[in-house]
Amino acid sequence: MSIKNRMSPSILSSDFWKLGEQITEVEKAGEEWLHIDVMDGMFVPSISFGMPVIETIRKHTNLFFDVHLMVQEPERYFEDFARVGADLIDFHLEATEDVKGCIEKIRALGKKVGIAIKPDTPVSEVMPYVKDVDLVLVMTVEPGFGGQKLIPKCVDKVRELRIVTDRIGLRDIDIEVDGGVTTMNVTELTDAGANVIVAGSAVFKGDICGNLKIFNSKLQ
């Protein structure tokens, strides 16, 4: 089986007044995933949205919900996010003292598991867990805000992660990148080995369908 290149548009940059309409546009563009950023004001300085928003949109779409928890001690909330409709739960390695326990908890809830690392966390720290997760999310900006510029050294981490996971036979693992991704730098990221591409402002600012069309033409 080979992994698929795909977009995971981040609604953090959507116009919340038009959230429903904009998610429909994402679906019409042929996307299958939606990236949902939850911020707690502790792990990251900002606060975004949480369970009620996810529960509401879940009723109106079958998109695969890729829920990125930028939350301290995320294990407190896995059950809640599973209940409101997350399909994949990405928690931060840096946010918990019990990474293994987090993976087990999410699995027990029947959800896919993603483990996220911040720009300063080396790939070696995530390696003990890669066999047990579906996806590794390599942050390409400091988590906390949309609209930042991609940090170039993070592209090298993606390359390293793809090489070392390939080497141990994990050819199907999804590597997701998140932060500062544009239609101009996405090819550099897929060349490095990323196959799930999060983009917020580069999708939601302007023509959503048009932006996704350009992204997808580069993911072939």
- Judged by the rule CB under 6 A, the positions of this chain that interact with ligand DX5 are 10, 12-13, 35, 37, 68, 141, 143-148, 178-181, 198-202
Please tell me whether residue 90 binds Zn ion under the rule CB under 5 A.
no
Q: Which does 200 bind (CB under 5 to 8 A by kind): ligand DX5, Zn ion, none?
A: ligand DX5
Cβ within 8 Å of residue 120, ≥6 positions away:
none
- x/- binding map, residues 12-51, to Zn ion, per CB under 5 A? -------------------------x--------------
Q: Which of 168, 119, 157, 113 is nearest to 135 (CA)?
A: 113
40 in catalytic set: no
Q: Of residues 15, 37, 66, 166, which has the active-site annotation?
A: 37
CB 142 to ligand DX5: min, Å: 7
User: Of the residues 80, 87, 178, 191, which is catalytic?
Assistant: 178
66 binding Zn ion? (CB under 5 A): no
147 binds, among Zn ion, ligand DX5, none (CB under 5 to 8 A by kind): ligand DX5
By CB under 5 A, how many residues form the interface with Zn ion? 3
Binding of Zn ion by 68 (CB under 5 A): yes
93, 125 in Cβ contact below 8 A? yes
Question: Does 178 participate in catalysis according to the annotation?
Answer: yes
146 interface partner picked from ligand DX5, Zn ion, none, CB below 5 to 8 A per type = ligand DX5
CA distance 115 to 93: 6
Name the strand (E) or helix (H) holding 115.
strand 112-117
Give the integer Cα–Cα distance in Å for 200 and 63.
16
Q: Are 3 and 174 in contact (CB under 8 A)?
A: yes
Whether the CB-CB separation of 194 and 161 falls below 8 Å is answered with: no
176 in contact with Zn ion (CB under 5 A): no
The DSSP output letter for 184 is T
Judged by CB, which is closer to Zn ion: 130, or 139? 139
Determine the residue with CB nearest Zn ion.
68
Amino acid identity, position 143: P
Q: Would you put residue 110 in left (φ > 0), alpha (ψ -120 to 50) or beta? A: left
Task: Enumerate binding residues for Zn ion (CB under 5 A).
Answer: 37, 68, 178
Residues serving a catalytic function are 37, 178
